[in-house]
Amino acid sequence: MQNMLLDSAIERVLVSEEQLAETVNCLAEKINTDYGNEPLVLVVILKGSMVFATDLMKKLSMPLTIDFMQVSSYGSGTVSKGFINIKKDLSTDIAGKNVLIVEDIIDSGNTLHKLKELLRGRNPKSIRICTVLDKPDRRVTEVEVEYSGITIPDEFVVGYGLDYDEYFRNLPYVGILKKSVYQK
């Protein structure tokens, strides 16, 4: 079996490959309906969103360009909460463009809230967010998410781009890690 070694670190599968594919189709359909033939810039948030973005973009039908950003935000409980650190910025100008931020998961909401604010300051024509996973129980900062895929419980998940310590991004499904992996 292809992912046997990785699979053994997973407690249980939360979202199957099939469910992910269905979700991507559903999100793409909504986005296609909303934008019609309006050109769109996908802003892909590295690294976790690359797998989702790759699947999603193939289902979108408008004229489309992509760009990448890598950001981090300090978690809640720190003085710097809400501060966003840009590790890699966009390489194109988004002024006057329709921007769709593509995210893997929304957790506290801190990163996306700050990022949306920051990009709005660059005067895009419109700016929206699309996420494949959402953990609303963990929300600290309210953020408007126009396209949301699957709501999941408050569990740390990996796969489909999501990592633990940079690993497990290549799992084709979303799963909950075994406790023993953290405790090692």
Spatial contact of 133 and 164, defined as CB atoms under 8 Å apart: no
Strand order in the sheet with 157-158: 10-15, 174-177, 157-158
Q: Which is nearer to ligand IMP, 23 or 73 (CB)?
A: 73
Beta carbon of residue 82, minimum distance to ligand IMP (angstroms, whole number): 9
| Binding positions for ligand IMP, rule: CB under 6 A | 48, 73, 103-112, 156-158, 162-163
- CA–CA dist 112, 138 (Å, integer): 14
Q: Which is nearer to ligand IMP, 124 or 175 (CB)?
A: 175
Beta carbon of residue 156, minimum distance to ligand IMP (angstroms, whole number): 4
- CA–CA dist 151, 135 (Å, integer): 6
- CA–CA dist 2, 7 (Å, integer): 9
Angle between helices 17-35 and 50-57 (to 10 degrees): 60
Beta carbon of residue 39, minimum distance to ligand IMP (angstroms, whole number): 26
- Choose, from 107, 134, 154, 163, the residue flagged as catalytic: 107
Beta carbon of residue 62, minimum distance to ligand IMP (angstroms, whole number): 25
Q: Which is nearer to ligand IMP, 28 or 106 (CB)?
A: 106
Contacts of 173 (CB under 8 A, 6+ apart): 13, 14, 15, 16, 17, 20, 159, 160
Q: Where are the alpha helices (DSSP H) in the chain?
A: 4-7, 17-35, 50-57, 110-120, 179-183
Beta carbon of residue 10, minimum distance to ligand IMP (angstroms, whole number): 13
Q: Which is nearer to ligand IMP, 98 or 111 (CB)?
A: 111
Annotated active-site residue 104? The verdict is no
Active-site annotation, residues: 107
